[in-house]
């Protein structure tokens, strides 16, 4: 059913149920006026085109009722505005009314006002109407003059949608800012706020309490300088910065064919762009350099560095404390002090730092009419000036306008399509930089000649020492100096074994590429994984698989028999498992009957033992990070084997937790602290969370996303509600419910809920999970309600550095730097 048809049907149902049809002589279903002066709980307003709905809802406890506006197709999942966010109603006797003065009042069952609109002072209108517009804006206006008395767009909560202003009025100090919800099911004002800083160039800043958390970088005429990706979405959005004496505001609008999208300030203080559409789109991901002032004064953050030392210094400066550059809190200092004699013209100059997000403009001045050369002269003439840059890059070239910084510059990082920042240095340091540049001009040709000679030498090796040597060099380049005790299989042998990768031999396909069945010369059946060139799994993931699995031996881990590197080809040769993967059985209406309860119990325990080996009993401590049903393979006896170690990470023996600057894994199976925390922390408890999701899927035969159960956002919500209502057996797969052991099943459900606790400290270690599964007399603690439902009405989807989160109807939780 198309979205427009669903909207028309929704409007029709509301028309018939409320008696407020257009043309009925009473009222339109989008307005409160003379014919309809109130809305009670259970009634709604629907915008003329059906895009938005206003009504009462409960995001968490049913006893807390809120008045809000949501995108109609989302069934209250995409709430864009809440009236009484800090004052919930506790019954369903509430009502929204509009009085003769055009003021909206939200009243509870005792006629107590839980919220009122602060309608503009002025002459009392002869007749006022409140109307929900197709834009999602609730507007109160004077019917006779058409003047707007109040509108919800002037009072954002945690969401910005097309047409809304985000900024402030410099004359009155009025702000149009975002404040986070307290939690995913509590709309009350949270700790985080996103506001427009207008002290220099307009800059969007996130705050947690009184501390800056993130800023976009100043507006440069086209985009915020730290978010060049904004220009890439021109097919969906248009961006505008309004600068007037009474308004400095950012506004985005959707293009004609664009799906509904919104910017949401999360409870962690991170802006997310959520798109309600079947399209798969990749959005920027939060990284370590987005933390405000990560590298201190005059520091320069580079997330693309090969090392983990993200912080460096702008040209001409050195670390204040080189030993602590990993934390970078101390920042950088000058090698040579500025002299600033004769206005600085003869003693100082400027070095260019290219491709950066411009520094915080709190301590900057702006002149939009100045040229870049005038900006340079002004900076030299002021001894306090430390840097300058163009204010507007729309004209091309070096840009126009002038931004001048005084004192320290902070929060500078490299970005794609970044701007040029001119940093003031002493002439002596400029001369030293010039000398170093001259040396490079001499060294580069010499290095080029050496490189050519090296290439000739390598060609000689390939020609006269054989292709085997070439393969060894290529393998070492990719796999490093690891001592790989694993056979190298030639590409020719693999082509023969798979009948030239024929369709008849293909076993399956995933985000990594395709898997083929093959027969080696010794009549060994194998499964050959051929990594696609367009796969998100690259050299690092391939190396992970070869290095890790080759060193692991356990009955519940898949065995890697060999590997192949041939040009751009990357191939892995595994033992062949005839029953393929677990998801083929538990989610298929016909095949699920093959897995009776004893078999499912065996699979649950086998996966747990495999994880215990990875976490505790192997020579290495390994976090899998992508445990899911499609990565559990089944042998001829239906014994489980954990596979796909491309995302895995090795821990030190005493290491409990680590951070990463990118999220990898599969939505739905990822733990909250890993998927949503700005630091992207993961630990052995991350695998425990994934195991809990997998356990509940095995018992219920339902996917984590529950696409066909509209009453619940995902399987965790469904399982918890049944558990809390004393009906956990209702979730058991119909194929096993009559022949299973209720005691064993209920214990497994209980353990699964313990594994998916939001707080990792409340989850058991996998060693405790194995003990609880194998010792039925062991008492179990009481689980708490899991409130993290990151995957609402969506299919679980593997993600990596360049992968989109896949949804039934929404691209979800992809962190945009705006």
CA 567 to the chain's CA centroid: 34
d(CA 272, CA 457): 52
Q: Torsions phi, psi of 751, nearest 5?
A: -65, -40
Catalytic residue among 626, 644, 687, 758: 626
Taking each continuous run of H as one helix and of E as one strand, the counts in the chain are 13, 46
d(CA 68, CA 805): 27
Region at 785 (left for phi over 0; alpha for psi -120 to 50; beta for the rest): beta
Query: Helices 467-479 & 539-550, crossing angle to 10 degrees?
Result: 90
d(CA 63, CA 75): 19
d(CA 573, CA 575): 7
**Which residues is 564 bridged to in the sheet?**
571
Q: Is there a contact between 96 and 104 (Cβ–Cβ < 8 Å)?
A: yes
Question: Among candidates 769, 776, 742, 741, which has minimal Cα distance to 754?
Answer: 769
In this structure, how many other beta carbons lie within 10 angstroms of the beta carbon of residue 646? 27
**Which residues is 488 bridged to in the sheet?**
563
d(CA 782, CA 229): 46
Residue 514 among known ligand-binding residues: no
d(CA 427, CA 479): 46
In this structure, how many other beta carbons lie within 10 angstroms of the beta carbon of residue 744? 16
In this structure, how many other beta carbons lie within 10 angstroms of the beta carbon of residue 724? 12
Question: Among candidates 746, 619, 763, which has minimal Cα distance to 687?
Answer: 763
CA-CA-CA-CA torsion sign (643, 646, 651, 657): negative
d(CA 74, CA 77): 5
- Per residue, the 3-state secondary structure of 760-783, as one string, reads HHHCCCHHHHHHHHHCCCCCCCCC
**Which residues is 556 bridged to in the sheet?**
none
d(CA 436, CA 419): 24
- 392 classed as catalytic: no
d(CA 744, CA 502): 45
With tokens 């439902």, the residue in question is: 789
Question: Which H helix or E strand runs over 341?
Answer: none
Helix (H, G, I), strand (E, B) or coil at 152: helix
d(CA 178, CA 183): 15
Residues in binding site: 529
Return the active site residues. 626
Residues in binding site for ATP: 529
């Amino acid at each position: 059913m198309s979205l427009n048809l669903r909207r028309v049907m929704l409007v029709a149902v509301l028309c018939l149920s409320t008696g407020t049809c257009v043309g009925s002589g009473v009222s339109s279903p989008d307005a409160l006026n003379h014919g309809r002066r109130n809305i009670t709980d259970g009634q709604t307003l629907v915008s003329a085109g059906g895009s938005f709905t206003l009504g009462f809802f409960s995001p968490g406890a049913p006893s807390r009722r809120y008045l809000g506006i949501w995108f109609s197709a989302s069934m209250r999942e995409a709430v864009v505005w809440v009236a009484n966010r800090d004052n919930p109603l506790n019954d369903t006797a509430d009502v929204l009314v509009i009085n003769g003065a055009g003021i909206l009042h939200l009243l509870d069952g005792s006629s107590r006002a839980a919220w009122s609109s602060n309608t503009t002072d002025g002459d009392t209108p002869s007749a006022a109407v409140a109307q929900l517009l197709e834009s999602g804006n609730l507007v109160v206006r004077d019917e006779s003059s058409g003047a707007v008395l109040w509108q919800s767009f002037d009072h954002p909560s945690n969401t910005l949608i097309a047409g809304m202003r985000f900024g402030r009025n410099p004359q009155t100090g009025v702000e149009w800012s975002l404040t986070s919800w307290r939690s995913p099911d509590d709309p009350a004002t949270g700790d985080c706020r996103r506001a427009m800083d207008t002290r220099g160039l307009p800059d969007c800043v996130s705050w947690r309490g009184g501390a800056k958390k993130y800023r976009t970088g100043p507006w440069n005429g086209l985009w915020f300088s730290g978010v060049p990706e904004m220009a890439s979405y021109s097919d969906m959005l248009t961006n505008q910065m309004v600068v007037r004496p009474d308004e400095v505001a950012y506004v985005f609008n959707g293009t004609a064919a664009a799906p509904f999208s919104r910017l949401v300030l999360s409870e962690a203080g991170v802006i997310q762009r959520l798109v309600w559409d079947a399209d798969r789109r990749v959005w920027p991901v939060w990284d370590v350099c987005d933390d405000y002032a990560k590298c201190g004064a005059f520091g320069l953050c580079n997330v693309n560095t090969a090392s983990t030392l993200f912080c460096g210094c702008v040209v001409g400066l050195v670390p204040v404390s080189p030993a602590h550059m990993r934390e970078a809190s101390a920042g950088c200092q000058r090698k040579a002090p500025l002299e600033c004699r004769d206005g600085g013209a003869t003693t100082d100059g400027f070095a260019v730092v290219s491709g950066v997000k411009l520094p915080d403009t709190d301590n900057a001045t702006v002149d939009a009419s100045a040229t870049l050369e005038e900006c340079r002269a002004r900076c030299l003439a002021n001894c306090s000036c430390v840097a300058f840059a163009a204010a507007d890059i729309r004209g091309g070239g070096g840009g126009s306008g002038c931004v001048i910084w005084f004192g320290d510059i902070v929060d500078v990082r490299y970005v794609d399509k970044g701007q040029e920042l001119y940093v003031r240095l002493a002439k002596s340091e400029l001369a030293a930089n010039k000398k170093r540049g001259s040396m490079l001009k001499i060294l580069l040709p010499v290095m080029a000649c050496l490189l050519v000679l090296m290439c000739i030498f390598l060609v000689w090796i390939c020609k006269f020492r054989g292709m085997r040597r070439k393969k060894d060099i290529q393998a070492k380049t990719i796999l490093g100096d690891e001592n790989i005790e694993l056979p190298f299989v030639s590409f020719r042998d693999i082509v023969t074994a798979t009948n030239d990768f024929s369709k008849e031999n293909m076993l399956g396909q995933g985000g990594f590429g395709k898997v083929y069945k093959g027969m080696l010369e010794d009549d060994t059946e194998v499964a050959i994984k051929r990594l696609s060139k367009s796969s998100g799994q690259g050299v690092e993931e391939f190396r992970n698989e070869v290095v890790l699995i080759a060193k692991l031996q356990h009955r519940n881990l898949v065995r890697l028999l060999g590997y192949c590197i041939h040009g751009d080809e990357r191939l892995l040769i595994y033992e062949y498992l005839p029953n393929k993967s677990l998801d083929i059985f538990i989610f298929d209406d016909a095949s699920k009957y093959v897995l009776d309860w004893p078999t499912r119990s065996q699979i649950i325990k086998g996966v747990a033992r495999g994880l215990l080996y990875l976490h505790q009993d192997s020579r290495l401590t390994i976090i899998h990070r992508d445990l899911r049903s499609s990565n559990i393979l089944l042998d001829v006896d239906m014994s489980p084997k954990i596979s796909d170690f491309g995302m895995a990470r090795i821990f030190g023996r005493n290491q409990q937790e680590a951070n990463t600057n990118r999220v990898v894994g599969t939505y739905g199976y990822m733990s909250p602290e890993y998927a949503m925390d700005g630091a992207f922390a993961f630990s052995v408890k991350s695998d425990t969370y994934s195991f809990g999701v997998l356990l509940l899927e095995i018992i219920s035969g339902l996917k984590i996303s529950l696409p066909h159960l509209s009453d619940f956002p995902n399987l965790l919500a469904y399982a918890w509600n049944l558990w809390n209502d004393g009906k956990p057996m209702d979730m058991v797969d119909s194929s096993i419910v009559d022949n299973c052991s209720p005691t064993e099943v209920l214990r497994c459900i209980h353990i699964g809920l313990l594994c998916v606790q939001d707080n990792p400290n409340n989850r058991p270690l996998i060693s405790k999970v194995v003990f609880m599964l194998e010792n039925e007399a062991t008492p179990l603690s009481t689980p708490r309600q899991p409130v993290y439902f990151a995957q609402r009405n969506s299919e679980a989807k593997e993600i990596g550095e360049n992968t989109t989160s896949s949804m039934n109807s929404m691209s979800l939780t992809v962190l945009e730097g705006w």
